[in-house]
Amino acid sequence: MKTKLLTTDTNDILIAADIIKKGGLVAFPTETVYGLGADALNAKAVASIYKAKGRPSDNPMIVHIARASDIGQLTPRLSPDIVTIIENFWPGPLTIVVKKKPIVPSKTTGGLDTVAIRMPDSKPALELINHAGCPIAAPSANISGSPSPTRAVDVVADMNGKIDAIIQGDDCRVGIESTVLDLTSDVPTILRPGIITAENIEAALGKKVEYDKSLTEASKHIQLDPADGVGESDFQPKSPGMKYKHYAPKAQMLVVEGQRDKVQAEIERLKGLNEQLGLKVGVILFEEKAFIEAAHNFFSNLRDLDNEGVDMILAGALSDVDGVGLAVMNRMLKSAGYNIVTVK
Ligand code: TXA
Ligand code: MG
């Protein structure tokens, strides 16, 4: 398939909107990451997203709308919490999970009776949805399992030839995907951390927010012995159930955590050891406390290192994290398949 490479000019957005109307696939920028969009109410179109991404078809998608009031199309009931969240955070990088109306195909929600909805804070995204005249289902526009795309070039690398069009806009401002907040029960629960934090949401709702159990369990660390040289075999996940890779670069990846100066020293040491073995080693080490910047750069750093052809990526865990830092660490640990070494 020949993929149309479009700009964010209105004429091009109209072409893209027409493709969506006809059941086609268009990648487009949002403030978080690039999305791979189709008419959310057209089950056949949505099915082709799964195909283009190589994604399991039971994975539910986020439905993007251009006006907050359009949520009424998708969900039967607006609780006070839903209204407060929308008023405080839309348009923006916060997705809410709510009960779905029958009009939303089960293909879009992975068979669930709930639907994830957000209004993105991005002019080209909002224009696209408006002109298409339908809500747009869009997962991140990467091949399933690989790092989320935050730049037009990343989308072209993964999706050129597989979808109808790519709107090539600016780099994404946020850099990690939206916070996903489940509002289907009395206790609002964060299913995926993002740049809008539990504290932000608690301040708006005036009540406690929980993290989903899978998030806390997934962060249980796997310890490797830092005294060992790190060869290829040390990079195999050692805990059953942790094999699943998400956001994974092509290179092997190890996260080094601990006190900042020790982390830096250990990364240097491991880099030296592995370079002696003839491996090409890339390093990701963010400024202390610069969590917003880390979020902005994390996925693009992974992709740049892959493009340079490194064999191994050594990443320094963020320390003293706030909510945003937690969201970055969630991605970093998944990318590394939970390969972590702790320096003491
Ligand atoms: O920032 C973002 O959210 C980007 C941009 C393109 O908007 N989209 C994105 O989509 O990251 P995706 O498909 O990669 O992630 C969707 C997340 C998954 O963690 C999925 O499990 C969750 O939302 N999700 C979607 N529908 C859900 C539902 N009904 N119940 C629970 N979780 C749901
Ligand atoms: Mg994704």
Q: What is the pLDDT of residues 36-90, one digit of tens each?
A: 999 999 999 999 999 999 877 778 999 999 999 999 999 999 999 999 999 999 9
Residues 229-253 pLDDT 10s:
333 233 333 333 344 567 889 999 9
Please report, in tens digits, the pLDDT of each residue of the chain (344 residues total).
999 999 999 999 999 999 999 999 999 999 999 999 999 999 999 999 999 998 777 789 999 999 999 999 999 999 999 999 999 999 999 999 999 999 999 999 999 999 999 999 999 999 999 999 999 999 999 999 899 999 999 999 999 999 999 999 999 999 999 999 999 998 999 999 999 999 999 999 999 999 998 887 655 543 333 333 333 233 333 333 344 567 889 999 999 999 999 999 999 999 999 999 999 999 999 999 999 999 999 999 999 999 999 999 999 999 999 999 999 999 999 999 999 999 98
Instruction: Tell me, letter by letter, the H, E, C secondary structure of the chain.
Output: CCCEEECCCHHHHHHHHHHHHCCCCEEECCCCCCEEEEECCCHHHHHHHHHHHCCCCCCCCEEECCCHHHHHHCCCCCCHHHHHHHHHHCCCCEEEEEECCCCCCCCCCCCCCEEEEECCCCHHHHHHHHHHCCCEECCECCCCCCCCCCCHHHHHHHHCCCCCEEECCCCCCCCCCCEEEECCCCCCEEEECCCCCHHHHHHHHCCCCEECHHHHHHCCCCEECCCCCCCHHHHCCCCCCCCCCCCCCCCEEEEEEECHHHHHHHHHHHHHHHHHCCCCEEEECCCCCCHHHHHHHHHHHHHHHHHCCCCEEEEECCCCCCHHHHHHHHHHHHHCCCCEEEEC
For the CA of 177, the closest atom of ligand 1 is: 1
User: What separation in Å is there between the alpha carbon of 268 and the centre of ligand 1?
Assistant: 36
What pLDDT, on a 0 to 100 scale, did the predictor assign at position 215? Answer: 80
Ligand 1 pocket, mutate which of 34, 62, 107 (most atoms under 8 A from CB)? 62
For the CA of 191, the closest atom of ligand 1 is: 32
Task: Mark 229-253 as b/e (b = at least 16 C-beta within 10 Å).
Answer: ebeeeebeeeeeebeebebbbbbbb
Residues 309-330 pLDDT 10s:
999 999 999 999 999 999 999 9
For residue 150, the ligand closest to its alpha carbon is: 1
Map tokens 């991005």 to a residue.
122
138 lines ligand 1 (CB under 6 A): yes
224 lines ligand 1 (CB under 6 A): no
Sign of CA dihedral 239, 245, 250, 251: negative
191 lines ligand 1 (CB under 6 A): yes
Residue with the nearest Cα to atom 29 of ligand 1?
115
Ligand 1 pocket, mutate which of 104, 177, 196 (most atoms under 8 A from CB)? 177
52 lines ligand 1 (CB under 6 A): no
Residue with the nearest Cα to atom 31 of ligand 1?
97
